Chains A and B, each alone.
Chain A
């Protein structure tokens, strides 16, 4: 970013006297000493890779994350909080790791398979509290700098931390707590349990897919409902839900049995639901009147009345969740 540095130091406040050359020299020196060029270059690359809907927010998170990593031992990063210098309890450190793990999980969409898998691995290692020497190598997308290691931990993520991760993923994905609760009941682990990688990955992936699914369902409901009244006809909603259910069932395949140790068949459940999401996306693109026409047949004998957004969302969620195997 040599041109960028040139541009920066070329912008001097107006009315600079003959000391101009010295100022831009000292500016350059400061910037290179502080490593600003690399810092910004890294940030831009990450940003372009992630293509977030909220680039500014992404950068804010990125730098916050980085700040909490490099300031070893300080508390987690809040947007407007000062970095406190008090002693760090194990709980705060755990929260910090959770924040970092979540940040990694947000980096890539679950449809970007290899990037997402990498990030899940990194997040798992962060929460696993083991693997000190290997983390520098495994952090293919992680922030630079040493990772602080806390001793002990075991062969697995603490159950409570795993459950918390899933909760955060769902709520950050825009799913209200009441909607995600049944899903989490199926996926969660007890606090004393040590969660192995496969279970962790399955849970994370399922929550990511579920968040997308619910968002799409919300959008579809918005398309279908009457703008003035805020509700949609029950018959229409039931018809949509019915076809959704069919889509989920036909794409399910034969591998519905999930075993905690199997790692190849784990994907079938979320993949079926990915197809359901595509169906929802396609449906959302159909204009309401066309959708109504297509569903006209179902409406003739359908039940009357309206269905509100919450009910639709819960019903859609249920279709998804019944296919999720309970983690034992």
Chain B
């Protein structure tokens, strides 16, 4: 909840709790103690300045352990953003990757990132139990965002969903509280999958009721209710993963979390393009370069590859032609 100066009735301890400041202070001190030999009294102040500046700028989650990254909504959002920034070039090249490959990428940024989370994200992206499919960067990214940011909420919704599938009436569906989250069994328990596959579907209006009840008491973040209702009002029957997939694609939810651009702009990276252009320009004009014809020829090749227009053609080719026929030759695209 947003607090401001015009609402001084928020008590101090609630303000502190909502901001997660004590968590960050605690972590800052722990990190400081691990390197205390490097700091004197004045260095300590500078250290805190840098720590909180990096938190503010979302630079603080890189290479940190999973527990830290998961600990606050801001940390989760920052991590999602870092993942996007680091790997959006993959999206540009149009490559499709497997779940395990995405997991490797995640582990480069966070060494102990758990595979279970990546699996769940993949399930949302392909809306299927079998998650061997290859996924595009943007499909995976938005699914990952939803799964990671709203993890606790999605777990609770699954419990509700399974209860509804099992035929319980909404009144008897037990709305999980935040304390009971740890007791929820992992998503793919065998009995559930055999009898009530998440594909089967429930009555959307009932699901809305239960989700409303959940949101009323839910301590963690959840997607805006209006977004969820909008999805559930559009169909007669909804399955768990189709619901989640729709949530993942909803731009309003994306903006609520606020760290990723919309899908159309996901792959735009003008700074990287600029950097590449600068780099290339330097190589071309550098007096120390060998500037043999082969080097220049190779350079032109690189330049073409880096051109965003070429990448767009490449992507379209992938989508339209599966056999890889090349009607577009290397025309001059400068």
Report the minimal beta-carbon distance from B196 to chain A, rounded to whole angstroms: 40
- Whether B53 lies near A79 (C-beta < 8 A) is yes
- Whether B5 lies near A83 (C-beta < 8 A) is no
What residue of chain B has the Cβ atom nearest to residue A50's Cβ? B5
Contact with B along A47-66 (1 / 0, CB 8 A): 11011111111011001101
User: Taking A56-B52, A63-B48, A64-B49 as contacts, is the C-beta distance between A44 and B41 under 8 angstroms?
Assistant: no
- Whether B45 lies near A70 (C-beta < 8 A) is yes
User: Taking A30-B33, A67-B46 as contacts, is the C-beta distance between A56 and B74 under 8 angstroms?
Assistant: yes
- Whether B30 lies near A8 (C-beta < 8 A) is yes
A31 to B33, CA, bound (A): 8
With an 8 A cutoff between CB atoms, is A294 at the interface? no
Which B residues are CB-close (under 8 A) to A66?
Answer: 45, 49
- A102-124: which have CB < 8 Å to B? 108-109, 111-112
- B47-98: which have CB < 8 Å to A? 48-49, 51-53, 55-57, 74
- Whether A55 lies near B46 (C-beta < 8 A) is no
- Whether B56 lies near A27 (C-beta < 8 A) is no
With an 8 A cutoff between CB atoms, is B21 at the interface? yes
Residue picked from B4, B33, B40, most chain A C-beta under 10 Å:
B33
User: Taking A56-B56, A59-B52 as contacts, is the C-beta distance between A35 and B41 under 8 angstroms?
Assistant: yes
User: Taking A56-B19, A59-B52 as contacts, is the C-beta distance between A112 and B5 under 8 angstroms?
Assistant: yes
Interface size class of A (residues with CB under 8 A): 35 or more
Interface size class of B (residues with CB under 8 A): 35 or more
- Whether B15 lies near A48 (C-beta < 8 A) is yes
Among the listed B10, B39, B51, which residue makes an inter-chain contact with A34, where contact means beta carbons less than 8 Å apart? B39
- A13-46: which have CB < 8 Å to B? 13, 26-27, 30-31, 33-36, 39-40, 43-44
A53 to B39, CA, bound (A): 31
Residue picked from B8, B34, B53, most chain A C-beta under 10 Å:
B53
- B3-20: which have CB < 8 Å to A? 3-6, 8, 10, 12, 15-16, 19
A7 to B25, CA, bound (A): 12
Which A residues are CB-close (under 8 A) to B51?
Answer: 63
Report the minimal beta-carbon distance from A26 to chain B, rounded to whole angstroms: 8
With an 8 A cutoff between CB atoms, is B36 at the interface? yes
- Whether B46 lies near A36 (C-beta < 8 A) is no
With an 8 A cutoff between CB atoms, is A321 at the interface? no
- Whether B29 lies near A109 (C-beta < 8 A) is no
- Whether A39 lies near B45 (C-beta < 8 A) is yes
User: Taking A33-B41, A66-B45 as contacts, is the C-beta distance between A8 and B26 under 8 angstroms?
Assistant: yes
Which A residues are CB-close (under 8 A) to B42?
Answer: 67, 70-71
- Whether B3 lies near A44 (C-beta < 8 A) is no
A9 to B48, CA, bound (A): 18
A237 to B277, CA, bound (A): 47
Which A residues are CB-close (under 8 A) to B166?
Answer: none
A111 to B6, CA, bound (A): 9
Among the listed B10, B26, B36, B56, which residue makes an inter-chain contact with A60, where contact means beta carbons less than 8 Å apart? B56
With an 8 A cutoff between CB atoms, is A187 at the interface? no
- Whether B48 lies near A39 (C-beta < 8 A) is yes
A50 to B19, CA, bound (A): 13
Could you show 30 A-B contacts with beta carbons less than 8 Å apart?
A: A7-B26, A26-B36, A27-B33, A27-B36, A30-B33, A30-B36, A31-B29, A33-B41, A34-B44, A35-B44, A39-B44, A40-B25, A43-B48, A44-B16, A44-B21, A48-B12, A48-B15, A51-B8, A51-B15, A56-B19, A56-B55, A56-B56, A59-B24, A60-B49, A60-B56, A63-B45, A64-B49, A79-B57, A111-B5, A111-B6
Q: Which residues of B contact A (CB under 8 A)?
A: 2-6, 8, 10, 12, 15-16, 19, 21, 24-26, 29-30, 32-34, 36, 39-42, 44-46, 48-49, 51-53, 55-57, 74
Given contacts A8-B33, A34-B44, A64-B49, 15 further A-B contacts (CB under 8 A): A26-B36, A27-B33, A35-B41, A35-B44, A36-B29, A44-B16, A50-B5, A55-B21, A56-B19, A57-B56, A59-B48, A60-B52, A66-B45, A67-B49, A111-B5
